[in-house]
Structure 1
Amino acid sequence: MYCPLILLPPMNLKAYGAVALLLVCSIFAGGCSSGGGGDGTPTTTPATGVPLTGTTWDLVLYADGSGGMSSPIAGTAIRAAFGEDGQVSGSAGCNNYFASYEAGESSLSIGPIASTERFCADPAGVMEQEAAYLALLGSAAGYTADDGRLEVTDASGRTILTFTGVVPAPLRGTAWTLSAYNDEKGGMLSLLAGTEITAVFESGGQMSGSAGCNDYFASYEADAGSLRIGPVGTTRMACADPAGVMDQETAYLGLLPEVSAYAITGDVLALSDGAGRTLLEYRVIPAVPLSGTSWTLTAYRSAAGELVAPIDGTNVTAVFGDDGEIGGSAGCNLYSGPYRAEGSMIEIGPLAVTAMFCAEPAGVQEQEDTVLAHLGAAGGYRIEGAALVLTDTPGTTLLEFAAA
């Protein structure tokens, strides 16, 4: 055991006596060491409760430059996912970022940090917040993680970032939206503004979703991190807006058969090829309960296999009650019946329908028959903002609704 030499500042003798007594008491109570405890055992920095590798965190506080901590701007989400491959990635509020990281028991180093190059005007201040976050992340020197909370510190030991933990989402039964795809040039591209690409892995080995313009469907096999997708089938629409959407769709669909593995970190799904190269990155589409919602039909799949708008002058609705009953207007008659929704799967029917006949507008009865048949054939659903999409079991869109 040894005690360090302590130099005291000038003070009166009475004060020296008090300090000396305090030091003596401390020495005999706990011992003095820098390399061992009072019983002679080595002392180390306490290990954090949770290793960083394979964890995902949402930012709740960051150092604001004035000596305090601020919450992220309302409507922004900042995330850090520490992958098994030594890469940290996530959203900085507007752009996606990625960097290498090294984590010890309590040490952490990150960088250099790269990010996409979008500009976000809303909400106000989001770009300044993003720059502050990335600068703080790059200055990380230590961390503590326990009980669902991660605190990142700088070289002085000051807490600069505070996160809460994110529970990983399951692959099957989760609705995913694509956030970035491999450009085949060593980088990842964000989606075109105004487009959305989705994926749902059903428990029966079927994958489906929207490729941005067309719906697609494929079989898949997943086991212990391995994933095989294909062959892939699609509908055959052509979309002109926004410019480049068909090229983006072709690139996305071309990457699916190359997938050989998957990893889920928090609510981020990464699909990679045999060389470990990330091909596709998705995020969970936040679950929206179907019960208690009301919808108006905006499109249905016709007998010719095309999505078409309802006939002018008709109003087709669907109301999903809290009691497990669906009801509404099929355009002429009223219908009602049971429904069951679980995850992204749905079963509707049998349906009871009134027995009116409507001659006008022309074609309304044929449209009604088609809509009712589609309701009975629905096997999946997803809610995307203010839109509800009902699909058959393979994933082909049957009906599209807008929130009423």
Structure 2
Amino acid sequence: MSRNDVEDLIRELAPQVLGVLVRRHGQFDACEDAVQEALLDASTQWRAGPPENPRGWLLTVATRRLTDAWRSDSARRRREQAFALDPEAPAPDGPPAEDDSLTLLFLCCHPELSVPSQLALTLRAVGGLSTAQIASAFLVPEATMAQRISRAKARIKATGSAFGPPPARERDERLRVVLHVLYLIFNEGYTASSGEQLQRVELAAEAIRLARLVHRLAPADSETGALLALMLLTHARRAARTGPGGALIPLNEQDRTRWDQAAITEGLTLLRHTLSTGALGPYLVQAAIAGTHAEAARPEDTDWPQILVLYGILERIAPNPVVTLNRAIALAMVNGAKAGLDLLDELADDDRLRASHRLDAVRAHLLELDDQPGAAAEAYHRAARRTASQPEQRYLLAKAAKLG
């Protein structure tokens, strides 16, 4: 078994082990710390391969770590008598172990937590990533991320949330939160918001792994399948998105032979199944847009009228300025750059885009298409000043320089 296979196994088992501990002993924060220590032990001791019963090994080590943490507490003796240390003993009262991962996701995406806390706690408790790995992914100091995770666990404890699925009346809403968190994790991995790298492939891959997990546990939910399809179809472009030195390559200039055809086939199959069986939701429409791009062997083969229709639907069911930006691009490709620019004018006073570089970047692109090089160069410069992503900044400045 390769090193990557071992790491994948550890991450797959992490939420299962944590779920057993929390159901047995409560105290999510203490149990999560114990599991993290067991995962660190496994990462060093399984280098030659995992033990015969890796889940049992992790349960045993994590339980011992939990016991050690409680040893100085006089009440620990009463707790110790209340549970068995046999890692294969059936868990009392609760869903079977295979359901624990989704329950953990619901807990980590608790509505009382801020979005950054939801992201961090999900990656640590369910993704099995260390605090250092999460801090590196989001380009913050490890101490800062440790404080964020600690506060998130303290907040969950303060809410008094029991370990178990949310009430039936809250389940759909909480699942939407889980999907949104995974969507945000994927987006940060696919296009990093800051730093030297355009994409953080490991973060995007972890979002896909977790989306697969949720889809397996909630297969009847159409948006769960749609989100996984969207991730697969989008991530399939990763190898073609950068050139030498990490330079950004836009979609219409990418070498499409470098797209991951296996991921595209899987994504399209999942998309077609979901379209035939599920209700139309935001992730399903976005997946359909990604699928339309994936089916075009050449940029000129892209079905832009279909994409424009899909963005119109998306804008009706999930309106936000980023959707309108993308619809402006599709509108320009169908009806000409002037039509796209007119639509952008409607976003000029939208406060949600005021600090973003995206409006200026799209405006620059459409101005260039409309044969207005001077205005386009100015817009490219404005966009470059507003982005914290160095590959995006270099690309935008190069576009401005080319226009003179």
TM, length-normalised to structure 1: 0.25
By relative contact order (CA 8 Å, sep 6+), the higher-ranking structure is 2
Whose strand proportion is higher, 1 or 2? Answer: 1
Bigger Rg, which one: 1
